[in-house]
Structure 1
Amino acid sequence: MNSMGRPVRRGVGGFADGVRYVLRGLGWVARNPRQWLFGLIPALLALVLYIVALVLLGTYAGDLAAWATPFADGWNSGLRQTVRVLLGVVIFALGLVLSVLTFTAATLAIGEPFYEKLSERVEQDLGGLEAVPEVPLWRSIPRSLRDSVITLGYALMFTIPLFVLGFVPVVGQTVVPVLAAAVSGFFLTVELTALAMERRGLARKQRFAVLRGDKAPALGFGVLLFLMFLVPFGAVVAMPAAVAGATIMVRERLAPGPAAQGHAPRPVHP
C-alpha cells in the first residue's frame, strides 16, 4: 500500500505503470501545447550547447588520442594510426554516452524556472499543491546543480564499467545494452522527479530512498524515456512531457501528498 491506501504493484505491473506515466505526460502536453512550447526553450538551448561540444570533440578526438598515447610514437605508422583512430572513436563514443547521461540534468539546470512552473501547472491541473515554503532561486539552483553532479557521479559508477564491457563479444551486444538502459533510465527518473519531490520537502537522500523502494515504475518510466532520448532530437521534443509525466508519477504514486488525497490545494497562478 502507498500513503494513499492504494495497493502498489511491483514487478512487471509496476514497470508498466511507469510506462503509462510517460504516456500520460505526453497526453498532458498534447492537451496543453503552449506548455509544451514553453518547455522547449531550455531544451533547445541545451541542444545547441551539446551539438557544439560534440562537434568540437569529434574535431579534436584524434588529437586527444595522440596526446593519450605518446608511447606509440615509435611504432610503425600503420599500427600507430590504427590504434589512435580506434581510441579516437572510443573517446567520441564515450562523449555520446555522457551526453545522453547529462543532457537531462543540464536541461533541468538551465531551465529550472521553466520546468518548475510547468510542473506546478501540471499539479494545479490535477487538483492543486500542498502549501509548502517556497525556496528562492538563488538557493534552489545551486542545490539542484550539486544534486545533479552527485547523481551523475553515481551514474558513472555503473555506466563506465558497462561501456567497457560493451566491447566484450556476445555479452557486450546482448546483456550490456539491457543493463545500460536500466541504469540510465533509473537515473533519468531520479533527475526528472526531483522537482516534484523537492516541492514535497524531500531532500536528495530521501528521493533516492523513495525511488529505490519502488523501482519498477521508476525503471518503466526511465527506460522508455531513455529509448526516446536516443532518437535524434527526441530528448528535446519529449522533455516537457517527461517533466509532466514525472510530476504525475510523484503526485499519484511515489510521494502523494494531501492535495492528491482530496485535501485543500494551494492555488498556483500562471
Structure 2
Amino acid sequence: MIQGFFQGIAFLFQGFSLITQKNIRGFVVIPLLINIVVFCGAIWLANVQFDIWMDRLLGWLPSWLSWVEWILFPFFAVLILLVIYYTFSIVANFIAAPFNALLAERVEKVLEGRALPESSGWKALAKNIGKTLGSEVKKVFYMIKWMPLLLIITVIPGVNLIAPLAWVVYGSWMYSLQYSDFPMGNHELFIKEELAILRKNRAHALGFGAATSLITIIPVLNFVAMPVAVSGATAMWVKRLSHG
C-alpha cells in the first residue's frame, strides 16, 4: 500500500520531464495556456471575493460567540481556497479536454516507442471532441455525487474533525480519475471501467492524486499542473494501470 502510494507520486513527477521532451512539447502549449488563463481567474476571484465569503460564512455566529471565529477562520479559509482551486481546475479540464486527450495520446506513443497512426493527432480532434467533452460531463456528475456527504461531515460538530482528511482523500481520488481518464479514454474505456481499474490500483491512484492536489495549490506550479498531470497519468497508465 505504502509503496504503491509513493509510486503514484513518482508517476506525477515524471510528467515534469515528459512535457519538456521534443516530441511532446507541441501538444503541451494549448493545455498550458488554458490552465494559465483559468487559474489567473481563480487567483483574481480568491483575492476579490475572499473577505466577502468569509463574512457570510461566519456571519451566522451570535456576538457572544465571536471568539469562535478565530478557531473557524483558518478552517474556512483553507476550505474556500480548496473549493475555488478545485472548481477552476474542473473548468480548465473541461475546456482543455480534447487537447488533453491528444497530449495523452502523444505521451503514450512516445513511451511505447510507436509512431502515431494517421487517424490520430490533430486530425482526430474534431472527430473525438464530442466523446471527450461527454466524458468530462460524466466525471463532473460523479464528483458532485459525493459533495453532500462531505458537506455534512464538514458542518457536524465533532465529526468535522475528520473533514480535512475527508477532503484530501476526496480531492486525491477525483484528481486521479480526472487525469487518468485521458489515456484510458483514448482506449475506449468509460468511467465505470476506469473506476474499476483505479480501485484495483487504489494506492497508486491516491498517491498520484495527492501529489496533483499539492502542485495545483502551489503558486507557479499550478500553471503547469494540468499538462504535467495528464503526462504523469499517461505514464501511470502505460506502466501500471494497463497491466492486466
TM (normalized to structure 2)? 0.77
Structure 2 CA distance for aligned equivalents of residues 15 and 138 of structure 1: 33
Q: Does 1:60 align with 2:52?
A: yes
1:250-265 aligned within 5 A:
250-256=237-243
Q: Separation in 2 of the partners of 1:215 and 1:149?
A: 20
Partner of 2:134: 143
Q: Distance in 2 between matches of 1:184 and 1:212?
A: 15
* Aligned residue in 1 for 2:40: 48
How far, CA to CA, are the matches of 2:5 and 2:134 in structure 1?
A: 30
Residues 193-234 of structure 1: CA deviation (Å, up to 9, x unaligned)? 111111111111111111112101101111122222232233
Q: Is the 8 A contact 2:54 2:77 kept in 1?
A: no
Percentage of identical aligned residues: 23
Q: Deviations over 1:11-48 (max 9, x none)?
A: 12222221221122122123345554443111112112
In 2: Cα distance, 1:230 partner to 1:176 partner: 18
Instruction: Tell me: CA distance 1:122–1:99, structure 2 relative to 1, closer, same or farther (3 Å).
Output: same
The one-letter code matched in structure 1 to 2:220 is F
Q: Are 2:97 and 1:105 equivalent residues in the alignment?
A: no
- For residues 173 and 52 of structure 2, what CA distance do their matches in structure 1 show? 32
Cα distance per residue 1:38-65 (max 9 Å; x no partner): 4311111211232343244325326745
Aligned length: 236
1:208 paired with 2:195, answer yes
Write the mapping of 1:173-184 to structure 2, written as runs, cut at 5 A.
Answer: 176-184=163-171
2-side partners of 1:25 and 1:228: how far apart? 12
Structure 1 residues 99 and 61, CA, compared in 2 at 3 Å: closer, same or farther? Answer: closer
Residue 144 of structure 2 aligns with which residue? 153
Q: 1:218 maps to which residue?
A: 205
Q: 1:176 to 1:48 in 2, by over 3 A?
A: same
Say which structure is richer in helix: 2
Match of 2:108 in 1: 123
Q: Which residue of 17, 25, 36 maps to 1:27? A: 17
1:88 CA displacement: 8.3
Greater C-alpha Rg: 1
- After superposing the two structures, state which structure 1 stretch, 84-93 or 143-152, moved more: 84-93
Letter in 1 for 2:43: I
Q: Deviations over 1:88-129 (max 9, x none)?
A: 887654432212333332221111232122112101212347
Structure 2 runs not aligned, ≥5 long: none
The match for 2:217 is 230
Matched residue, 1:16:
6
Q: Structure 1: which 5+ residue stretches go unaligned?
A: 1-10, 258-270
Task: Provide the secondary structure at the position in 2 that maps to 1:30.
Answer: coil
CA distance in structure 2 between the aligned counterparts of 1:163 and 1:132, rounded to whole angstroms:
48
From 197, 200, 210, the equivalent of 2:184 is 197
How far 1:85 moved relative to its partner?
Answer: 9.5
Q: Secondary structure at the match of 2:188?
A: coil
